[in-house]
Chain A
Amino acid sequence: MPALKVEHLSKEYVIGGRMTQVDTLREQVASIFRHSVLHGQGTGKPRQERFWALQDVSFEVAPGEVVGIIGRNGAGKSTLLKILSRITEPTTGRAELFGRVSSLLEVGTGFHPELSGRENVFLNGALLGMSRREIADKFDEIVAFSEIERFIDTPVKRYSSGMYVRLAFAVAAHLEPEILIVDEVLAVGDASFQKKCLGKMEDVGREGRTILFVSHNLGAIKALCARAIVLQNGELLFDGDVFGAVSKYAGKQDIDIDRVRWDPSNGPATPSARMIEVGILNDGKRVGTDISTEQPIQIYVTFRVIKEGRIGTTVLLHNSDGALVFISISNHEPNWHGKIRPKGIYRNVCEIPSNFLSEGQYSVSIPFWEGFYETGIVEKEILRFTAHEKGFVRGDLPYAMKDSVTRPLLKWQSDFLGDQEV
Chain B
Amino acid sequence: MSDGMKEVDESPVVPCEEGPSGRITGHKTLISPTRGWRALDVREIWNYRELLWILTGRDIKVRYKQTALGVAWVILRPVLSVAIFTAVFGYLAKIPSEGYPYPVFVLSALIPWTFFSSAVASSGNSLLGSAGLIGKIYFPRLIIPVASVGSSVVDFAIAAVFLLAVLPLFDVAWTLSLLWVPVLLLMVLCLALGVGTLFSALIVRYRDFVGLMGYLLQVWMYATPVVYPASLVPGPWRWILYLNPMAGLTEAFRAAFLGRPLEPGPLALSCVASVGVLAVGAVYFAKVERRFADII
What residues make up the interface of A, taking CB atoms closer than 8 Å to B? 1, 3, 13, 23-26, 28, 63-64, 82-101, 103, 105-106, 109-110, 112, 114-115, 119, 122-123, 126-128, 131-132, 178-179, 208, 210
Contact = CB atoms under 8 A, between A and B. Distances in A.
A83 B209 CA distance: 29
Given A25-B208, A98-B25, A119-B58, A87 B134 contact: yes
Contacts of B260: none
A323 B15 CA distance: 44
Contact of A178 (B19, B30, B65, B134): B19
Given A105-B136, A106-B136, A123 B58 contact: yes
A126 B53 CA distance: 10
Nearest to A179: B20
A283 B109 CA distance: 81
Contact of A112 (B20, B51, B58, B290): B58
B2 interface: no
Contacts of B132: 109-110
A96 B27 contact: no
A307 B155 CA distance: 63
Contacts of A13: 294
Contacts of A98: 16, 19-20, 25, 27-29
A101 B31 CA distance: 12
A122 B57 CA distance: 11
A3 B137 contact: no
Contact of B138 (A85, A96, A112): A85
Nearest to A7: B32
B136 A109 contact: yes
A126 B134 CA distance: 14
Given A24-B206, A25-B208, A97 B29 contact: yes
A127 B62 CA distance: 17
B30 A82 contact: no
Given A98-B27, A127-B139, A23 B207 contact: yes
A98 B23 CA distance: 11
25 contacts: A13-B294, A25-B208, A63-B21, A83-B31, A85-B138, A87-B293, A88-B294, A89-B31, A90-B33, A92-B33, A94-B30, A94-B32, A98-B25, A99-B27, A100-B25, A105-B136, A109-B137, A110-B132, A115-B58, A119-B58, A119-B61, A122-B54, A126-B50, A178-B27, A208-B20
Interface in B17-70: 18-21, 23, 25, 27-34, 50-51, 54-55, 58, 61-62, 65-66
Contacts of B20: 1, 3, 63-64, 98-99, 178-179, 208, 210
Contacts of A90: 31-33
Residue among A3, A23, A63, A89 having the largest count of chain B Cβ atoms under 10 Å: A89
Q: How large is the interface on B (under 10, 10 to 19, 20 to 34, 35 or more residues)?
A: 35 or more
Given A87-B137, A89-B290, A93-B32, A115 B207 contact: no
Contacts of A179: 20
Contact of B5 (A23, A92, A122): A92
Contacts, number: 132
B207 A24 contact: yes
A79 to B, nearest CB: 10
A272 B92 CA distance: 66
Nearest to B29: A97
A204 to B, nearest CB: 14
A419 to B, nearest CB: 59
A166 B292 CA distance: 30
Interface string B252-270: 0000000000000000000
Q: 4 tightest A-B contacts by CB?
A: A63-B20, A94-B32, A86-B138, A97-B29
Contact of B206 (A25, A86, A96, A97): A25
A113 to B, nearest CB: 9
Contacts of B276: none
B133 interface: yes
B14 to A, nearest CB: 11
A103 B138 contact: yes
B181 to A, nearest CB: 31
A96 B31 contact: yes
Contacts of B18: 1
A83 to B, nearest CB: 6
B28 to A, nearest CB: 5
B135 interface: yes
Contacts of A112: 58, 62
Contact of B54 (A86, A91, A103, A126): A126
A316 B66 CA distance: 44
A261 B5 CA distance: 42
B12 interface: yes
Nearest to B4: A92
A5 to B, nearest CB: 10
A1 B135 CA distance: 30
Contacts of A24: 206-208
A379 to B, nearest CB: 26
A359 to B, nearest CB: 36
B65 A114 contact: yes
Interface in B150-181: none
Residue among B19, B134, B137, B293 having the largest count of chain A Cβ atoms under 10 Å: B137
Nearest to B135: A87
A192 B173 CA distance: 68
Contacts of A127: 51, 133, 137, 139
Contacts of A1: 18-20
Contacts of A26: 208
Contacts of A131: 50
Contacts of B28: 96-98
Interface string B82-104: 00000000000000000000000
Contacts of B50: 126, 131-132
B206 A28 contact: yes
Contact of A114 (B51, B66, B133, B135): B66
Interface string B172-208: 0000000000000000000000000000000000111
Contacts of A101: 27, 29
A96 B29 contact: yes
B168 to A, nearest CB: 38
Contact of B25 (A87, A91, A103, A178): A178
A115 B62 contact: yes
